[in-house]
């Protein structure tokens, strides 16, 4: 699905910024240059200086590489984040970069060990000088080789930084549906979030989170971009929304606009609802029809209006009931635990026995 992937930076964009290796090596070599060894003889001091140059430059490079990997450490990079990143960058690309960074670390460690041994065996100062030059050269080429990988991991880190952190201990109501149906308007009414609302599709292009207090229960309300029902051909915003439904939802509030003012007919919206019900049989999906101020119809579903506020209290009551039921079920399942939490499934979602799925 090439259209869902992030584009690599153009050569011109890459030209504008020096590659990461320039900064990393600059700091490493400067630190190594500042060594002031003690020793009785010049030969002793020369050897110690060479040893310290090897150790300091390599340690500085390794520390920088570890820093590049920090945003992707397991604690910050759960399965939900992984799904988002896979969808945005391509799964294999990120794995390849991680692997290449790890390999570069191992090679640098090996190079350092060899250089330390050679320094110990060297006789003359000139020999030491030549040894250090060679070591610096190889160290630099190892780091330069992974420049594209460091750039990619930095892009992933920046992407993740823009995504809200979901508290996996709190229930997550994901508000989803077709574009322009009124999802963000409902999120603004239900929670503390104030997402942008406008009369064109794809106003929301990334997920955002607000909170709602429903009696005893605190709920995270997640606004998502609209999804046109076209698996494998969705744009990055649609892929992100589907990944959130698949990987982060405790429950889904599926918003339908029967008035058609969103620009899409009810049958195509119903088709998306049907597909999700089929793909996520264990997920609780509550459909709600909105914009009822534009016209009411006969239906068993909840009907609301974000403009007049009609039906919102009934919707809140329904959500409260659903949450209380889920809490009671969790308490019944783990009666001895003080703070009952559902067992975590994929992406911190309560396990429901449905198969993991990579959204396309």
180 binds, among Mg ion, ligand GTP, none (CB under 5 to 8 A by kind): ligand GTP
Residue 202 is a binding residue for ligand GTP (CB under 6 A): yes
Residue 294 is a binding residue for ligand GTP (CB under 6 A): yes
Residue 184 is a binding residue for Mg ion (CB under 5 A): yes
> Contact with ligand GTP (CB under 6 A): which of 306, 319, 323, 326?
306
Classify each residue of 249-274 as buried b or exposed e, where b means 16 or more C-beta atoms within 10 Å of its C-beta: bbbbbbbbbbbeebebeeeebeebbe
Q: CB of residue 178 vs Mg ion: minimum separation in angstroms?
A: 11
Residue 191 is a binding residue for ligand GTP (CB under 6 A): no
User: With CB under 5 A as the contact rule, which of the stretches 6-14, 46-54, 87-95, 181-189 interacts with Mg ion?
Assistant: 181-189
198 binds, among Mg ion, ligand GTP, none (CB under 5 to 8 A by kind): ligand GTP
Which residues touch 146 (CB under 8 Å, ≥6 apart)? Answer: 21, 97, 100, 101, 104
Q: CB of residue 235 vs ligand GTP: minimum separation in angstroms?
A: 12
- Residue 147 Ramachandran class (φ > 0 left, ψ -120 to 50 alpha, else beta): alpha
Q: Which is nearer to Mg ion, 55 or 206 (CB)?
A: 206
Q: CB of residue 254 vs ligand GTP: minimum separation in angstroms?
A: 12
**Is the distance from CB of 226 to CB of 238 less than 8 angstroms?**
yes
Residue 242 is a binding residue for ligand GTP (CB under 6 A): no
Build a one-symbol-per-residue string for 151-190: x at contacts with ligand GTP by CB under 6 A, - elsewhere: ----------------------------xxxxxxx-----
Reference 7, options 89, 121, 107, 122; nearest CA is 89
37 binds, among Mg ion, ligand GTP, none (CB under 5 to 8 A by kind): none
The burial of 286, by beta-carbon neighbours within 10 Å (0-12 exposed, 13-18 middle, 19 or more buried), is given as middle
**Site of tokens 């971009």:** 225
Residue 250 is a binding residue for Mg ion (CB under 5 A): no
Task: Please give the size of the binding site for ligand GTP, defined by CB under 6 A.
Answer: 23
CA distances (Å), origin 197, targets 18, 84, 192, 273, 304? 39, 24, 15, 23, 17
**Is the distance from CB of 280 to CB of 354 less than 8 angstroms?**
yes
Could you give the CA distance from residue 146 to residue 104 in angstroms, rounded to a whole number?
8
Q: Which parts of this chain interact with ligand GTP (CB under 6 A)?
A: 179-185, 197-199, 201-204, 225-226, 290-291, 293-294, 305-307
Q: Which residues bind Mg ion (CB under 5 A)?
A: 184, 203-204
């Amino acid at each position: 699905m090439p259209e869902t992937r992030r584009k690599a930076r153009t050569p011109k964009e890459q030209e504008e910024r020096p590659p990461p290796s320039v900064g990393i090596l600059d700091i490493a070599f400067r630190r190594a240059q500042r060594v002031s060894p003690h020793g009785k003889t010049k030969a002793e001091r020369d050897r110690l200086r060479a040893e310290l140059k090897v150790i300091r430059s390599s340690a500085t490079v390794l520390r920088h590489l570890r820093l590049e990997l920090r945003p992707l450490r397991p604690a910050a990079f759960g399965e939900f984040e992984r799904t988002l990143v896979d969808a945005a960058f391509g799964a294999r690309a990120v794995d390849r970069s991680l692997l290449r960074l790890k390999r570069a670390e191992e090679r640098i460690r090996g190079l350092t060990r060899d250089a330390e041994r050679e320094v110990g065996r060297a006789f003359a100062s000139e020999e030491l000088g030549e040894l250090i030059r060679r070591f610096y050269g190889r160290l630099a080429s190892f780091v330069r080789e992974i420049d594209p990988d460091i750039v990619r991991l930095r892009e992933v880190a920046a992407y993740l930084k823009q995504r809200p952190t979901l508290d996996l201990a709190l229930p997550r109501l994901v508000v989803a549906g077709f574009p322009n149906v009124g999802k963000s308007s409902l999120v603004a009414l239900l929670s503390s979030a104030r997402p942008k609302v406008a009369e064109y599709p794809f106003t929301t292009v990334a997920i955002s989170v607000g909170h709602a207090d429903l009696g005893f229960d605190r709920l995270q309300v997640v606004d998502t971009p609209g999804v046109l029902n076209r698996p494998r051909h969705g744009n990055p915003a649609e892929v992100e929304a589907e990944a959130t439904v698949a990987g982060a939802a405790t429950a889904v509030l599926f918003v339908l606009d029967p008035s058609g003012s969103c620009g899409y007919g009810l049958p195509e919206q119903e088709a998306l609802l049907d597909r999700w019900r089929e793909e996520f049989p264990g997920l609780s999906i509550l459909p709600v029809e909105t914009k009822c101020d534009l016209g009411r119809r006969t239906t068993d579903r909840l009907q609301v209006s974000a403009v007049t506020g009609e039906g919102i209290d009934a919707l809140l009551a329904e959500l409260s009931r659903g949450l209380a039921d889920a809490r009671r079920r969790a308490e019944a399942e783990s009666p001895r635990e003080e703070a009952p939490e559902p067992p975590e499934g994929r992406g911190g979602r309560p396990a429901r026995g449905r198969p993991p799925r990579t959204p396309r």
